[in-house]
A and B are shown apart, each in its own frame.
Chain A
Amino acid sequence: MPPFQTLLDDYATDVMGVLRGAVGRTDAEDCFQETFLAALRAYPKLDNGDNLRGWLLTIAHRKAIDHHRTNGRKPVTMADPPEIPVEDPALSDDGIWTAVGALPPKQRAAVALRYGSDLPHAEIAAALGCSPEAARRSLHEGIKRLRKELA
């Protein structure tokens, strides 16, 4: 296996992109840490290094699902609303990612992997552990739903 640092050098940005898509900017950092710690834990026993990117994205996807499950059970606490209107251009696409975050898990992950990290269908399928056909269907359903939500 290559030194673990090369995985960070090559794929940390992709993983962060997927997680931002799946859980939003604020929680992506925690999921990022959890993803790479889990990967680091399992790395010495990994027997196939052919698709390390797909492997990392699979872990990221699971961490995002765990995150949503945990948050679903917890009462949601809200911070006091800011008194000054915030205009952060970096957050301008938050609306769409919020809508993505509200999709069912498979659809959400498919959309995030396709548009957050620009993965082809075959790799989305590998990351989700399903057939390319099923990945294509999840993506299609997700997009259809987003169109409706955002129309």
Chain B
Amino acid sequence: MKASLQRLAERAEAEGLLDVAYTNVDSPFGPLLLAATPRGLVRVNLPTYDPEETLEELAAKVSPRVLEAPAKFERARRELDLYFEGKLTEFDLPIDWQLTHGFRGKVQRAVGRIPYGQTRTYTEMARSAGNERAVRAAGTACGHNPIPIVVPCHRVLRSGGGLGGYGGGLPMKEELLKLEGVL
């Protein structure tokens, strides 16, 4: 049955019917769920959130043609492994930004450009997105980042030096910043 299902995923992709592919990958923080459209990585689900709910959300917001297709994620899996080992400083994965819009989208794209091992404040992110006073909205935008880790919202901190928040839990944010040599 496994071979039949793999063949089905391949044929679905060849016929343009694989709108959302997903897979589970291991990480030092627990299992991550990765989801991609033909355009690129669209969602990373951190271990703190229920993957079933995330798949349902993808079915509702992107397309119900959601299939498990691990073979499509070899590169993403390899890059994440290297990142967690401290051997990769820049992800080279196509991104599909379709789950982000408006001001939040601008903030999230700006977050995507923060280099490895550096941090920014929520104020700076608000400024990058074109509205310096929208600090709280910038914080919310970071909190709703659909592609954490690859779009490094863990590199955004409070102006006073506090860690701020993190969807994967503050210990995970701390570990990621330690890995990158910031803390």
Contact = CB atoms under 8 A, between A and B. Distances in A.
A97 interface: no
A41 B17 CA distance: 7
Contacts of A3: 20, 55-56, 58-59, 64, 66
A17 to B, nearest CB: 11
Interface in B1-46: 1, 4-5, 7-8, 11-12, 15, 17, 20, 22
A122 interface: no
A44 interface: yes
Interface string A86-127: 000000000000000000000000000000000000000000
Interface centre among B22, B58, B64, B68 (most CB of A within 10 A): B64
A98 to B, nearest CB: 22
Interface in B39-90: 55-56, 58-59, 63-68
30 contacts: A1-B64, A3-B20, A3-B55, A3-B56, A3-B58, A3-B66, A4-B66, A5-B66, A5-B67, A5-B68, A8-B5, A8-B67, A12-B4, A12-B5, A13-B1, A16-B4, A29-B4, A32-B4, A32-B8, A33-B7, A36-B8, A37-B8, A37-B11, A37-B12, A37-B15, A40-B65, A41-B15, A43-B65, A44-B64, A44-B65
Interface in A23-52: 29, 32-33, 36-37, 40-41, 43-44
Interface of B: 1, 4-5, 7-8, 11-12, 15, 17, 20, 22, 55-56, 58-59, 63-68
B82 to A, nearest CB: 28
A72 interface: no
A2 interface: yes
Interface of A: 1-5, 8, 12-13, 16, 29, 32-33, 36-37, 40-41, 43-44
B1 A37 contact: no
Given A8-B8, A37-B17, A40-B67, 11 more contacts: A1-B64, A3-B56, A4-B64, A5-B66, A8-B68, A33-B7, A36-B8, A37-B8, A37-B12, A43-B65, A44-B65
Contacts of B63: 44
A33 B4 contact: yes
Contacts of B12: 37, 40
B11 A4 contact: no
Nearest to B7: A33
Contacts of B67: 4-5, 8, 40
A117 to B, nearest CB: 15
